[in-house]
């Protein structure tokens, strides 16, 4: 199965020529070109959710809003309706009170949460769990603790149980937050295929290869348990310098062992 993690840049941003209304069709086309089975979004606002529901009408989806009274399914998970059987789903906030909607802790600048869903792959008959998140972009302590909340949650499952973690972690492999993930048993699918060398930035501010950054790959597809990585890609598609988002999307082809 092919997993995509896509920070699509919220439609509420004032991006001029890169506003969502200008990028929408191209963004959808880039995602469709990889024929994904599961798409994990970050920064999804209501209008973007409506656009994606229309574009991917054969997909089902799940995602709790980030705010208690809000409607933005920021970390929504889409999955092919005919490829998987739904088991259950939930979400939690990345805070000291993860059951409290809108809760924030540590030095987190924004409300951060994780959505998860358990599915049965119809081809193999095997069950797995996928988690989608977006760590804070400012608070280092928050990133570390938010990662640990996710690790602690994942450790409730048997070591062999297949789990997949996707998201914009707002930091690269040198950061303690990523080290917390790897110490918790999570493995980077991209590294499994391409080795441990830093592949370079995935946030590019709509500038592509001309962008300069001291942060490497911050968008991730992790695996844990009996999951095998077959292929992985940093998607750098563009039309003469016009990009589907301010992040490169990441894909991973995975097999349940």
Could you list the pLDDT tens digit for every one of the 257 residues in the chain? Answer: 999 999 999 999 999 999 999 999 999 999 999 999 999 999 999 999 999 999 999 999 999 999 999 999 999 999 999 999 999 999 999 999 999 999 999 999 999 999 999 999 999 999 999 999 999 999 999 999 999 999 999 999 999 999 999 999 999 999 999 999 999 999 999 999 999 999 999 999 999 999 999 999 999 999 999 999 999 999 999 999 999 999 999 999 999 99
How high is the pLDDT of residue 116?
A: 98
Dihedral angle, C-alpha 236, 31, 247, 94, nearest 10 °: -140
Q: What is the pLDDT of residues 83-110, one digit of tens each?
A: 999 999 999 999 999 999 999 999 999 9
Domain count, the chain: 1
Buried b (16+ CB within 10 A) or exposed e, 46-66: eebbebbeebbeebbbbbbbb
Q: Which residues form the domain of 198?
A: 2-256
How high is the pLDDT of residue 112?
A: 98
Name which of 227, 255, 222, 221 is nearest 161 in CA terms. 227
Q: Which two tokens stand for residue 138?
A: 């400012």
Question: What's the CATH code of the domain at 120?
Answer: 3.60.10.10
Count CB-CB contacts under 10 A for residue 72: 20
**Alpha-carbon distance 102 to 176, whole Å?**
25
Strands (E), 81-138: 84-93, 113-121, 127-134
């Amino acid at each position: 199965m092919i997993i995509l993690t896509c920070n699509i840049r919220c439609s509420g941003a004032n991006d001029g020529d890169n506003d969502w209304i200008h990028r929408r069709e191209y963004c959808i086309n880039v995602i469709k070109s990889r024929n994904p089975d599961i798409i994990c979004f970050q920064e999804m606002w209501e209008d973007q959710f409506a656009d994606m529901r229309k574009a991917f009408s054969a997909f089902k989806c799940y995602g709790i809003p980030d705010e208690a009274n809000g409607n933005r399914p920021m970390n929504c998970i889409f999955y092919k309706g005919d490829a998987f059987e739904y088991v259950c789903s939930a979400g939690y906030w990345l805070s000291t009170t993860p059951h409290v909607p809108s809760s924030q802790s540590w030095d987190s600048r924004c409300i951060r949460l994780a959505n998860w869903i358990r599915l049965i792959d119809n081809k193999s008959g095997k069950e797995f769990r996928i988690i989608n998140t977006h760590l804070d972009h400012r608070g280092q302590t928050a990133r570390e603790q938010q990662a640990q909340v996710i690790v602690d949650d994942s450790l409730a499952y048997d070591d062999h149980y297949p789990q997949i973690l996707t998201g914009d972690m707002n930091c690269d492999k040198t950061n303690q937050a990523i080290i917390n993930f790897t110490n918790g048993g999570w493995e980077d699918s991209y590294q499994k295929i391409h080795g441990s060398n830093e592949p370079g930035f995935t946030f590019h501010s709509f500038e592509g290869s001309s962008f300069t950054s001291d942060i490497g790959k911050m968008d991730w597809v992790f695996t844990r348990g009996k999951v095998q990585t077959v292929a992985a890609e940093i998607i750098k598609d563009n039309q003469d310098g016009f990009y589907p988002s301010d992040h490169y999307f990441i894909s991973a082809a995975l097999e349940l062992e």
